[in-house]
Amino acid sequence: MKALVYHGPGKRAWEERPKPAPKESTDAVVKILRTTICGTDLHILKGDLPEVTAGRILGHEGVGVVEETGKSVTNFKKGDRVIVSCVTACGKCINCKKAMYSHCADGGWILGYRIDGTQAEYVRIPHADNSLYPVPQGADEEALVMLSDILPTGFECGVLNGAVKPGDCVAIVGAGPIGLAALMTAKFYSPSEIILVDLDDNRLEVSRKFGATKLVNSSDGKAASRIMEMTQNRGVDVAIEAVGVRDTFDICQAIVTAGGHIANIGVHGKSVELHLERLWSQNITLTTRLVDTSTTAMLLKTVLSKSLRPEQLITHRFALDDMAKAYDTFGNAARERALKVLIAAAGA
């Protein structure tokens, strides 16, 4: 089979690899019909996650059809169309019992990280009964790809961890796909303002279409002061960091109000400075989280009802054999005006 393989920082190749087979009785092998590229994949390619070893097939998102199952898999059979969760869950360990699936003792985020992932013609899914979701008949499968990762990540790590409430003033720093997913799901709670911050005017304009009430271009280094002016020097109730770099984390620290929340989503490959000399007395809650996908079933209902339209995040479509071109496009998102790229197998 063909797969996108990581060969060390800055090195990737679309190459031939052996088709996977079940290793455990709880495994399934899924033929990938649709997948996408995540910002985390770009962090891996930069070398920000050194635990990812050369030779790893990347990717942790997708929709496909079950090709083969181990004898202990009971919820799925050959031919079933499924959503692949980015998080693998055994459903039995202490952390799974707490719905903290990201820290499953025999799973968590392992696809495209610790084991081979979904940017391939086939992928092996451990603990398939708890790590796949059935595709409802007639559902828009392009929209469902967004349920693998970005929607639950934006919602759980940003909105829920940020404890967004009706009437809150929310700032989302980073208007990429994850920031926009946080924007879309923050609207569940009727905040009074949603301020989007980014370097890219195109992404800011897109965020307006998704419900942002104010836009701030941070390219001049003055985003924090402008947000403080917008809020009459009070700051925001919830600051969601959706990039994973020092500058965006600093903006969040500078704009959060007393008693507010900083919810970090971004993948940080380098250290940041926590300004406790300023924040220690401000009753600030700072949260970090790896997505658990515990809200995927609920979010699926909102997508099926058209309350959420995540397919609107897709800006580019590619064939599976054009994976390299898809990476080049997504890696130059500002120039290409790219949000999510949708990569489909022939005939999907």
Q: Residue 139 CB: number of other CB atoms within 10 A?
A: 16
pLDDT exceeds 90 at position 320: yes
User: If you average pLDDT over every residue of the chain, what do you get?
Assistant: 97
Each residue's pLDDT tens digit, 116-165: 999 999 999 999 999 999 999 999 999 999 999 999 999 999 999 999 99
Q: Give exposure, 301-326, as e/b (b: 16+ Cβ within 10 Å).
A: ebbeeeebebbbbbbbebebebbeeb
pLDDT above 90: percentage of residues in the chain: 98
What's the pLDDT tens digit per position in 253-289? 999 999 999 999 999 989 999 999 999 999 999 999 9
pLDDT reading at 348 higher than 90: no
Tokens of 74: 């009971």
Can you tell me the distance from the alpha carbon of 315 to that of 127, in angstroms, rounded to the nearest whole number? 32
Nearest CA among 217, 219, 214 for reference residue 236: 214
| pLDDT surpassing 90 at residue 61 | yes
pTM of the model: 0.96
Q: What distance lies between CA 79 and its chain's CA centroid?
A: 27
pLDDT of the residue at 118: 98
Say what the pLDDT of residue 269 is. 86
- Mean pLDDT in residue range 316-334: 96
Cα(111)–Cα(101) distance, rounded to whole angstroms?
A: 13
Give pLDDT, residue 310.
96
13 strand-pairing partners: 5
Question: Which pLDDT tens digit goes with each residue over 193-202?
Answer: 999 999 999 9
Q: Are 248 and 174 in contact (CB under 8 A)?
A: yes
pLDDT tier at 58 (50, 70, 90 boundaries)?
very high
CA nearest 158: which of 68, 57, 261, 5? 261
Is the pLDDT at 340 greater than 90? The verdict is yes
Rounded mean pLDDT of 325-347?
Answer: 95
CB 35 within 8 A of CB 10: no
* Coil, helix or strand at residue 195: strand
